[in-house]
Chain A
Amino acid sequence: MAEFEPKIVAFVCNWCTYAGADLTGTSRIKYASNVRIIRFPCTGRIDYMLLIKAFDEGADGIIVSGCHPNDCHYTSGNFHARRRWIMFRDLCNLMGIDMQRIKFSWVSAAEGAKWAEVVNSTVTDIRALGPYEEYRRILNHHSKEVTNG
């Protein structure tokens, strides 16, 4: 059997991490191709339900990333997001959702190398954890067939 390839969904903000990921590419830095990047206007726009939806669609891991504190394009979106994540993580932890599968980071537009490192280390961690079987087992019969890769 082929090695397990984790499906990672990355929720990133337009102004920092998305630009950072762009820099990773233009700098010709190679990084794992397991990540599907979804661009948001701001980390403040990343609804916690979307993270759950990612698992619902068969993701094995999630990256949430945006501008460093004080760098937000909209001044305070990332501060609001941070407060929300603090509470959301606690809730998920209580509900038994594996918090090792959701990684949070600040990656600026100048940190192309950091983005590669964030993705690579996430892929390594999730590969070690294996597919998110626990969540897949509860997926609704009505939702799409979940496949690897």
Chain B
Amino acid sequence: MDELKNKVRELLGSGTVKVFIGYTTGTAGTKRALFAEKPEDAEGLVFDSSCIQNLAVYVTKQEVKEKGMMGISATLPVMRSLVQLARENQVSDSGIKVIGITPESRLIDFGNLSEVEKYIHQFQLEIDQKNRDMLEKLDKMTVSERWQFWLKELEPCFKCYACRAACPMCYCHRCTVEYNQPQWIPVPSHASGNLQWHIMRAVHLVGRCIDCDACANACPLAIPFNLLNKRMIEDARKHFGGYQPVLSGDHLMSTFKPDDKENFIR
């Protein structure tokens, strides 16, 4: 912990970074983001296993970018998000300095994003057992049973878009849900709009979601919509091969292979 604080003090003190994004203690013991701008702000930094928010969500925000060079304490999911964001030209080495925190809480001072990419590629993106079991359970249901399952699960959703706000990949300045000419997603908290919102969210994240669960953690109603994203990761891997955020190369959904396999087109 002190190591992180010292590192941040040094970075801010030398002017290498203008703002450092880390975790601090929020109300009622929760953890929230801290934006340290002066060396003494580093005192507020904390890190433990309850720091699960994906901080990469802030690096695309205009008000953070305006401050200049950013530093960020990045756990594995955050590092993955950063690499994906870099692939989408949202961050670059000239804008961010990554201080990695390994699963063993060791600090890594990354020189650039290529090093981050190299680091994350040591780890395979794996869906955890609990969610895999849940997906298997859904697979065993009939189509109608699945339909009923989702109607029930999505029923309390009132589209607060906390899932969207928590997701580093949902950085569009104007989201489809804000378009009302035509109204793509019906606004009322109602099955049809809820269904469409969650379908849309899942599709927009195909090939981009890195399974950090920030969306599900942010949901005030604990709706397990992240199952959709997880299934998309599994299926993308099944259909098109590997699934890892990369700095360059083909984007899963903006490319194709002439011999992509399917069995449903007549």
Q: Which residue of A lies closest to B139 (CB)?
A: A94
Q: A86-B260, A87-B236, A91-B231 are in contact. Are A142 and B186 (CB under 8 A)?
A: yes
In the complex with contacts A82-B260, A82-B262, A87-B203, A96-B186 CB distance below 8 A: no
B231 and A94 form a contact (CB under 8 A): yes
Chain A 89-115 near chain B by CB (<8 Å), digits 1 or 0:
111111111110001111000000000
Q: A49-B184, A86-B239 are in contact. Are A94 and B206 (CB under 8 A)?
A: no
Say whether A76 faces chain B, with CB atoms less than 8 Å apart: yes
- In contact, A140 and B147 (Cβ under 8 angstroms): no
CB-CB under 8 A from A103, the residues of chain B are: 266
B265 x A104 contact (CB < 8 A): yes
Bound CA span A97–B192, Å: 12
Within 8 A of A (CB), among B247-266: 253-258, 260, 262, 264-266
Separation in Å of the B183 CB from the closest CB of chain A? 9
How would residues 43 to 63 of chain A score, 1 for a CB under 8 Å from any chain B CB and 0 otherwise? 000001100100010000000
Checking A87, A92, A96, A140 against B193 with a beta-carbon cut-off of 8 angstroms, the contacting residue is A140
Q: Is the CB of A105 within 8 A of B262?
A: no
User: Chain B interface secondary structure, helix, strand, loop or mixed?
Assistant: helix
User: Could you tell me which residues of chain A, from 120 to 138, have a CB within 8 Å of some CB in chain B?
Assistant: 134, 138
| Contact count band on A | 35 or more
- Given A56-B192, A90-B232, A91-B202, do A82 and B266 touch, yes or no (CB 8 Å)? no
B90-108 to A contact mask, C-beta < 8 Å, 1/0: 0000000000000000000
Binds A, one of B10-18, B58-66, B148-156: B148-156
Q: Is A84 an interface residue, CB under 8 A from the partner?
A: yes
Q: B193, A134: Cβ atoms under 8 Å?
A: no
- The distance in angstroms between the C-alpha atoms of A103 and B265, with both chains bound, is 7
A139 surroundings in chain B (CB, below 8 A): 192
Q: Which residues of B contact A48 (CB under 8 A)?
A: 199, 203
Inter-chain contacts of B138 with A (CB < 8 A): 94
**Apart from A52-B195, A83-B240, what are 14 other A-B pairs with CB-CB below 8 Å?**
A49-B199, A79-B258, A86-B262, A87-B236, A87-B239, A89-B264, A90-B232, A94-B135, A96-B149, A96-B150, A99-B264, A104-B265, A105-B265, A106-B266
- Chain A residues packing against B (C-beta within 8 Å): 48-49, 52, 56, 69-70, 76, 79-80, 82-99, 103-106, 118, 134, 138-143
Q: Which B positions have Cβ atoms within 8 angstroms of A?
A: 135, 138, 143-151, 176, 184, 186, 188, 190-193, 195-196, 198-200, 202-203, 206, 227-228, 231-232, 235-236, 239-240, 253-258, 260, 262, 264-266
| Interface CB pairs A-B, < 8 A, 30 | A52-B196, A69-B258, A76-B256, A82-B265, A85-B262, A86-B262, A87-B206, A87-B232, A87-B239, A91-B231, A91-B232, A92-B199, A94-B138, A94-B228, A96-B144, A99-B143, A99-B264, A104-B265, A104-B266, A105-B265, A105-B266, A106-B265, A106-B266, A134-B144, A134-B147, A138-B190, A138-B191, A138-B192, A140-B188, A142-B186
